[in-house]
């Protein structure tokens, strides 16, 4: 979404990870970006320019002196055209040249002319990466304003473990998204602290069993991601830990409603927005068993467990509200708007986002969602069905009463 119609220059230099540039170009095109590629001569030994030309749907630049266009100087035109540049993989050689201002072939010459944000993704042998010269160069490039994505540790082409692998492509794309957001989205939440809760809480029955629900945490994560794109400092208090964290996003992993409540309360006084997207379990066990509860081997025998009601976290936040804007979710299977309106009042919150979880293609666990927003002033906004990440952007636009981006 952030990369839609963004002009991205992909610079591929000559390491074994060059073959992964195909996937990077493919994912960027899929995200709606317009992609042009530059390759060094050694990169073209690992992968053919034709592959990247087909995937990017643009001619690939490989040689500084093949100037077919008499009206433009190719590498300058390329550098001026870009909104964003990514060098992946970035070899020790290009890192060394760039940090010293050397421009002696197409990639280094173009990079020196680039004035837009540029992400470097170093990938090389671990000893080359750890070498003081490489580290010195990277430090200097960071100071010069380049964005860096650290390589992963893992099995290297040389046959041993080490730090130097190109991170997975989705991670590179995510990093580019957050860089693009920082530069192209208005930073409406700059210096603001936002808490977003996500996922269904787990209330332990015994060490191996729990009461929970189908909430995947996806809607909460989308809300947190957009908040981070808008410059907020985000505390993501979640029962799920598989979501990639953005630069200004902290994951606080919790299990139960009581743990979630404790983490929120610790931060609440300094917080500006609380988005309660978590599906907090309404009940927990009165007594949690210390050991696994044994079955009695008597079929159809009634088993009684005592449950106790969990605190209503959001309602308590509503009671203690000062500067905070509170946003709740109302997942219902019937009388959606009526219940949502009731919750808005009883919990003393600013916004409620109501969604019908009885429909299989939206809500819990789905990629899509369809919601109605209601606020305490009586405003009602119906939004059509869309992907959760797009919906999160719309929701933030409505809450902040400001269109984030005109597209
Ligand atoms: O009352 P109900 O559970 O339907 O309200 C849903 C909203 O309240 C959600 O935003 C949810 O995160 C929050 N909630 C809470 N504490 C609970 C139950 C729900 O904060 N115990």
Provide the CATH number for the domain around residue 316. Answer: 3.40.50.10300
Which of 215, 307, 325, 328, when mutated, tests ligand 1's pocket best, judged by the most ligand atoms within 8 Å of its CB?
A: 328
Domain that includes residue 350, residue range: 187-400
255 & 304 share domain: yes
- Cα distance between residue 204 and residue 254, in whole Å: 12
- Cα distance between residue 268 and residue 401, in whole Å: 23
345 & 360 share domain: yes
> Does residue 261 belong to any structural domain of this protein?
yes
110 & 221 share domain: no
145 & 202 share domain: no
> Does residue 90 belong to any structural domain of this protein?
yes
340 & 388 share domain: yes
Index of the ligand 1 atom closest to the CA of residue 257: 21
Rounded to the nearest angstrom, the distance between the alpha carbon of 243 and the centre of ligand 1 is 22
Of 129, 150, 181, the position where a domain reaches its end is 181
> Does residue 44 belong to any structural domain of this protein?
yes
Task: Give yes or no for residue 328 CB within 6 A of ligand 1.
Answer: yes
Which of 196, 260, 276, when mutated, tests ligand 1's pocket best, judged by the most ligand atoms within 8 Å of its CB?
A: 276
Which residues have a catalytic role annotated?
213
The pLDDT value recorded for residue 156 is 84
pLDDT of 70 higher than 80: no
> Does residue 97 belong to any structural domain of this protein?
yes
> Does residue 14 belong to any structural domain of this protein?
yes
232 & 116 share domain: no
Q: What is the pTM for the complete model shown?
A: 0.90
User: Is the C-alpha dihedral spanning 133, 134, 137, 139 positive or negative?
Assistant: negative
Q: What is the pLDDT of residues 271-290, one digit of tens each?
A: 999 999 999 999 999 999 99
Of 181, 211, 240, the position where a domain reaches its end is 181
Which of 314, 325, 338, 352, when mutated, tests ligand 1's pocket best, judged by the most ligand atoms within 8 Å of its CB?
A: 314
> Does residue 2 belong to any structural domain of this protein?
no
Q: Residue 114 is encoded by which pair of tokens?
A: 């680039």
The pLDDT value recorded for residue 363 is 63
Q: What is the pLDDT of residues 90-122, one digit of tens each?
A: 999 999 999 999 999 999 999 999 999 999 999
- Cα distance between residue 403 and residue 394, in whole Å: 8
How far out from the chain centre does Cα 3 lie? Answer: 13
Rounded to the nearest angstrom, the distance between the alpha carbon of 224 and the centre of ligand 1 is 18
Q: What is the pLDDT of residues 217-252, one digit of tens each?
A: 999 999 999 999 999 999 999 999 999 999 899 999
Q: Residue 2 is encoded by which pair of tokens?
A: 């952030």
The pLDDT value recorded for residue 62 is 92
Rounded to the nearest angstrom, the distance between the alpha carbon of 292 and the centre of ligand 1 is 29
CATH number at residue 121: 3.40.50.1950
Beta bridge partners of 369: 386
Q: Indicate the number of domains in the chain.
A: 2
CB 247 within 8 A of CB 228: yes
Rounded to the nearest angstrom, the distance between the alpha carbon of 192 and the centre of ligand 1 is 23
Task: Give yes or no for residue 278 CB within 6 A of ligand 1.
Answer: yes
177 & 282 share domain: no
> Does residue 219 belong to any structural domain of this protein?
yes
Q: What is the pLDDT of residues 317-367, one digit of tens each?
A: 999 999 999 999 998 888 888 889 999 999 999 999 998 877 767 666 678
Confidence of residue 404 (pLDDT cuts 50, 70, 90): confident
Task: Give yes or no for residue 276 CB within 6 A of ligand 1.
Answer: yes
The pLDDT value recorded for residue 137 is 98
219 & 86 share domain: no
CB 226 within 8 A of CB 2: no
Task: Give yes or no for residue 343 CB within 6 A of ligand 1.
Answer: yes
The pLDDT value recorded for residue 155 is 87
CA angle 185, 263, 228 (to 5 degrees): 5
Question: Phi and psi at residue 286, in whole multiples of 5°?
Answer: -60, -50
176 & 191 share domain: no
The pLDDT value recorded for residue 299 is 84
Q: List the one residue out of 71, 77, 172, 72 whose CA is nearest residue 120.
A: 172
Residue 378 is classified by DSSP as: S
Of 150, 181, 212, the position where a domain reaches its end is 181
> Does residue 1 belong to any structural domain of this protein?
no
Q: Kindly report which listed range (124-138, 207-221, 310-324, 350-364) carries the lowest average pLDDT score.
A: 350-364
Task: Give yes or no for residue 329 CB within 6 A of ligand 1.
Answer: yes
Task: Give yes or no for residue 249 CB within 6 A of ligand 1.
Answer: no
Name the residue with higher pLDDT: 401 or 139. 139
Task: Give yes or no for residue 314 CB within 6 A of ligand 1.
Answer: yes
User: Which ranges in 291-371 belong to alpha helices (H)?
Assistant: 313-319, 336-346
112 & 197 share domain: no
Residue owning the nearest CA to atom 19 of ligand 1: 280
Sheet arrangement for strand 325-332 = 249-253, 233-238, 193-198, 273-276, 325-332, 351-356, 371-375, 380-382
- The mean per-residue pLDDT over the stretch 295-302 comes to 85
177 & 215 share domain: no
Whole-number percent of the chain with pLDDT over 90: 82
Q: Kindly report which listed range (55-69, 263-277, 306-320, 355-369) carries the lowest average pLDDT score.
A: 355-369
Rounded to the nearest angstrom, the distance between the alpha carbon of 277 and the centre of ligand 1 is 8
Q: What is the pLDDT of residues 185-194, one digit of tens each?
A: 999 999 999 9
Q: What is the pLDDT of residues 25-58, one digit of tens each?
A: 999 999 999 999 999 999 999 999 999 999 999 9
- Cα distance between residue 360 and residue 366, in whole Å: 8
Cα–Cα distances (Å) from 217 to 36, 268, 279, 363, in that order, read 35, 21, 8, 10
167 & 285 share domain: no
Q: Residue 104 is encoded by which pair of tokens?
A: 């002696």
Q: Kindly report which listed range (61-70, 243-252, 295-304) carries the lowest average pLDDT score.
A: 61-70
> Cβ contacts of residue 184 below 8 Å, gap of 6+?
2, 6, 83, 405
Task: Give yes or no for residue 224 CB within 6 A of ligand 1.
Answer: no
> What's the whole-number average pLDDT of the chain?
93
């Amino acid at each position: 979404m952030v990369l839609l119609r963004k002009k991205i220059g992909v610079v591929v230099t000559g390491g074994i990870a060059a073959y992964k540039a195909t996937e990077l170009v493919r994912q960027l095109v899929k995200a709606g970006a317009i992609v042009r590629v530059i390759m060094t001569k050694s990169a073209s030994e690992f992968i053919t320019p034709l592959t990247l030309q087909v995937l990017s749907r643009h001619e690939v630049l490989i040689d500084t002196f093949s100037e077919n266009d008499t009206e433009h100087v190719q590498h300058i035109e390329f550098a001026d055209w870009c909104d964003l540049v990514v060098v992946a993989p970035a070899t020790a050689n290009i890192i060394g040249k760039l940090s010293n201002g050397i421009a002696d072939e197409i990639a280094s010459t173009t990079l020196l002319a680039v004035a837009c944000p540029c992400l470097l993704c170093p990938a090389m042998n671990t000893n080359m990466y750890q070498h003081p010269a490489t580290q010195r160069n990277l430090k200097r490039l960071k100071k010069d304003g380049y964005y860096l994505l650290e390589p992963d540790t893992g099995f290297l082409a040389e046959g041993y473990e080490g730090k130097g692998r190109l991170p997975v492509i989705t991670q590179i794309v995510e990093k580019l998204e957050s860089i693009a957001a920082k530069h192209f989205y208005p930073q409406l939440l700059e210096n603001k602290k936002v808490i977003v809760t996500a996922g269904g809480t787990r209330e332990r029955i015994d060490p191996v069993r729990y009461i929970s629900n189908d909430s995947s945490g996806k809607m909460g994560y989308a809300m947190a991601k957009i908040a981070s794109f808008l410059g907020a400092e985000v505390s993501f208090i979640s029962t799920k830990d598989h979501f990639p964290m953005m630069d200004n996003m902290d994951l606080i992993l919790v299990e139960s409603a009581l743990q979630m409540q404790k983490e929120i309360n610790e931060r609440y006084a300094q917080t500006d927005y609380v988005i309660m997207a978590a599906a907090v379990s309404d009940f927990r066990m009165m007594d949690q068993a210390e050991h696994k509860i044994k079955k009695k081997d008597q079929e159809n025998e009634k088993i009684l467990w005592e449950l106790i009601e969990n605190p209503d976290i959001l309602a308590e936040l509503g009671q203690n509200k000062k500067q905070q804007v509170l946003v709740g979710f109302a997942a219902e299977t019937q009388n959606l708007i009526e219940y949502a309106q009731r919750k808005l009042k009883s919990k003393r919150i600013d916004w409620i986002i109501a969604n019908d979880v009885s429909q299989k293609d939206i809500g819990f666990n789905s990629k899509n969602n369809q919601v109605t927003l209601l606020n305490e002033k009586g405003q009602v906004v119906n939004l059509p069905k869309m992907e959760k990440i797009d919906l999160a952007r719309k929701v933030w636009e409505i809450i902040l009463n400001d269109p984030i981006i005109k597209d």
